[in-house]
């Protein structure tokens, strides 16, 4: 590796994964520059103005940022604190039915029929055991199928982890992995609202419905990160600021408001990046947190890749279907106060979710979507920086290609939220919508998908996002991937960034 480069590594993207990757590289004494097209750090959770408030662009809750990464980066020392580390949920169904639950706690959801209440502890404990296997896998760099002794040992460790479940659990793990969350919940519980609420945990952020294959995997992934929904003090943007501060303390440099036009390749290996103003910044390695297709086809260029890989990158499934709707409120008085500190989900039942997904399969915004609603300024009064309150809703299923997707998502949300909290919309003074197409335009993430690429068994672990890229390396030497498109996927966990850094460091070279 040449010593004339200005940096050892340039990381494309100051989202969570880009910053986590940059931190670990800097901790291994690399000189690191992070470049982002946006003016602020945080990627899909970067700050944007809305009325008299600052809100995250898209991501509104922490569903499981890696504790290990948070400890390594000493994020508490860099200002990260929690307004709530487990916002309990209330699910709403038809005819005003309600259910209270949290996936992160042993408490039995309530109210439940006696038979379901009796079955809950065993179900939750078994799912938590299965989720611990997934958690173990999520923290690993996927081994090769035909690798060396280290790969063989990694496969053995995974097999042993599975075997430690015991024969009965192992059989059940393999059985339910092959079906879907609809069938698993249907054979376990009677209560329609409980099944709807649990199914939302499996499908939120995914282009899936309860009957879709892979929905058990996504449910376990949700539980693998603890199952809580948390809110940093100051909001999700505060997490980005803490990451930036930790990086800066390790000497990472940032260039914001500057897009990377292309990755410069010389003599068949990375030599740096060309910025949008034409400046070339040299480095030995370039690690991209943009999705794999964008990195491969737009930043590296198809001419440097074989045609088989180009075809596979074009076929990565990742059409976003989750939108965000923000409501600026002049007041929250008169609303049911206890509900405003909870995570409110309109799930209906599993059939409601299935029908909503069907609409999106045919390009339509569902009129009865899945909605997750929270009130950040009530849960965390420090976020109320002006006279207004904020309600944020994730609205699913909103296909990327739908006409007038933002207006239709807002209309659909209005109907559903009106049933959960009558009178809320009378307090709304302004709205803001972010559709999958907006996510694509603002972040450059092809498809605007929550996970940059759908999570499914054929795009998971050593197959994510496509088999030949699963170990975070692009085929051009010195080019790498560290974003949510990589194992173990998106949501703000920091794990793809951490795993990618381990690979860059293991590849040798500097210092």
Q: Which of 352, 360, 433, 443 is in the footprint of ligand FAD by CB under 6 A?
A: 443
Q: Of the two residues 14 and 141, which places its CB atom closer to ligand FAD in the complex?
A: 14
Q: Which of 72, 52, 502, 40 is nearest to 287 (CA)?
A: 502
Bond before 111 cis per omega within 30 degrees: yes
Q: Which of 69, 199, 434, 437 is in the footprint of ligand FAD by CB under 6 A?
A: 434
Q: What is the dihedral of CA 444, 229, 207, 395, to 10 degrees?
A: -80
290 binds ligand FAD (CB under 6 A): yes
- Binding characters for ligand FAD, 244-283, by CB under 6 A (x = yes): ---------------xx-----------------------
99 binds ligand FAD (CB under 6 A): no
3-state secondary structure of 153: helix
**Region 43-72 residues binding ligand FAD, contact defined as CB under 6 A:** 43-45, 58-61, 63
How many other CB atoms are found less than 10 A from the CB of residue 138?
Answer: 23
Q: Which of 289, 352, 360, 377 is in the footprint of ligand FAD by CB under 6 A?
A: 289
Q: Which of 25, 445, 456, 470 is in the footprint of ligand FAD by CB under 6 A?
A: 445
Residues in the chain: 511
**DSSP assignment string, 62-91:** BS---HHHHHHTTTTTTT--EEES---EEE
CA dist 165 to 96, 129, 136, 169, 188, Å? 40, 7, 13, 6, 20
Question: 498, 20 in Cβ contact below 8 A?
Answer: yes
Q: Of the two residues 140 and 192, which places its CB atom closer to ligand FAD in the complex?
A: 140
Residue nearest to ligand FAD (CB): 43
Question: 102, 88 in Cβ contact below 8 A?
Answer: yes
Q: Which of 14, 53, 239, 405 is in the footprint of ligand FAD by CB under 6 A?
A: 14
394 binds ligand FAD (CB under 6 A): yes
Q: Computed from CA positions of residues 209, 211, 213, 214, in that sequence, does the dihedral angle turn out positive or negative?
A: positive
# chain residues binding ligand FAD, by CB under 6 A: 41
Residues 445 and 50: their CA atoms lie apart, in Å, by: 23
103 binds ligand FAD (CB under 6 A): no
Smallest separation, CB 470 to ligand FAD (Å): 16
**Region 16-45 residues binding ligand FAD, contact defined as CB under 6 A:** 16-18, 35-38, 43-45
Q: Of the two residues 72 and 351, which places its CB atom closer to ligand FAD in the complex?
A: 72
- Binding characters for ligand FAD, 292-321, by CB under 6 A (x = yes): ----------------------------x-
- The 8-class DSSP code of residue 298 comes to I
**Region 448-467 residues binding ligand FAD, contact defined as CB under 6 A:** 448, 450-451
Taking each helix axis from N to C end, the angle separating 167-177 and 114-138, rounded to the nearest 10 degrees, works out to: 90
The answer for residues whose C-beta is within 8 angstroms of residue 311's C-beta and 6 or more apart is none
Residues binding ligand FAD (CB under 6 A)? 12-18, 35-38, 43-45, 58-61, 63, 259-260, 289-290, 320, 322-324, 394, 434, 439, 443-445, 448, 450-451, 483-484, 490-492
């Amino acid at each position: 590796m040449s010593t004339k480069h200005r940096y050892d590594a340039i990381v494309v993207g100051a989202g969570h994964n880009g910053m986590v990757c940059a931190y670990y590289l800097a901790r291994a004494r690399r000189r690191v520059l992070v470049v982002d097209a946006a003016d602020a750090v945080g990627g899909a959770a970067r700050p944007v103005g809305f009325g008299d408030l600052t809100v995250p662009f898209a991501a509104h809750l922490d569903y499981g940022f890696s504790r290990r990464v948070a400890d390594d980066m000493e994020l508490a020392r860099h200002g990260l604190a929690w307004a709530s580390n487990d916002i309990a949920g209330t699910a709403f169904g038809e005819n005003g039915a309600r259910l209270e639950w949290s996936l992160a706690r042993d408490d039995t959801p309530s109210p439940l029929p006696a038979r379901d209440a009796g079955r809950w502890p065993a179900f939750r404990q078994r799912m938590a055991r299965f989720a611990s296997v997934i958690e173990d896998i999520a923290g690993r760099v996927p081994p090769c199928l035909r690798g060396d002794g280290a790969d063989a040992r990694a496969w053995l460790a995974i097999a042993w982890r599975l075997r430690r479940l015991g024969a009965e659990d192992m059989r059940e793990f393999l059985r339910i992995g092959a079906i879907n969350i609809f069938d698993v919940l249907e054979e376990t519980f009677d209560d329609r609202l409980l099944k709807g609420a649990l199914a939302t945990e499996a499908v939120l952020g995914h282009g899936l419905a309860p009957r879709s294959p892979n929905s058990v995997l996504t449910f376990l992934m949700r539980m693998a990160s603890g199952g809580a929904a948390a809110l940093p003090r100051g909001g999700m943007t505060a997490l980005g600021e803490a990451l930036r501060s930790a990086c800066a303390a390790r000497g990472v440099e940032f260039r914001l408001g500057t897009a990377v036009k292309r990755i410069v390749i010389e003599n068949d290996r990375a030599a740096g990046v060309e910025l949008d103003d034409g400046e070339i910044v040299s480095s030995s390695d370039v690690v991209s947190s943009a999705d794999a297709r964008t990195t491969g086809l737009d930043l590296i260029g198809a001419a440097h890749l074989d045609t088989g890989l180009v075809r596979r990158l074009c076929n990565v499934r990742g059409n976003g279907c989750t939108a965000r709707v923000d409501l600026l409120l002049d007041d929250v008085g008169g609303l049911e106060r206890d509900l405003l500190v909870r995570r409110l989900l309109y799930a209906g039942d599993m059939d409601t979710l299935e029908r909503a997904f069907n609409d999106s399969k045919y390009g339509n915004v569902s009129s009865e979507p899945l909605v997750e609603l929270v009130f950040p300024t009530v849960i965390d009064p420090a976020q109320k920086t002006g006279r207004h309150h904020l309600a944020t809703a994730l609205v699913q299923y909103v296909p990327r290609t739908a006409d007038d997707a933002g207006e239709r998502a807002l209309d659909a949300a209005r109907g559903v939220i009106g049933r959960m909290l009558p009178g809320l919309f009378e307090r709304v003074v302004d709205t803001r919508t972010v559709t999958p197409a907006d996510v694509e335009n603002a972040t450059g993430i092809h498809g605007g998908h929550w996970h940059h690429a759908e999570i499914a068994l054929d795009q998971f672990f050593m197959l994510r996002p496509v088999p030949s890229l699963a170990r975070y390396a692009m085929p051009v030497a010195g080019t790498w991937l560290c974003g949510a498109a990589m194992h173990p996927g998106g949501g703000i966990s920091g794990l793809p960034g951490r795993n990618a850094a381990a690979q860059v460091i293991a590849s040798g070279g500097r210092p």
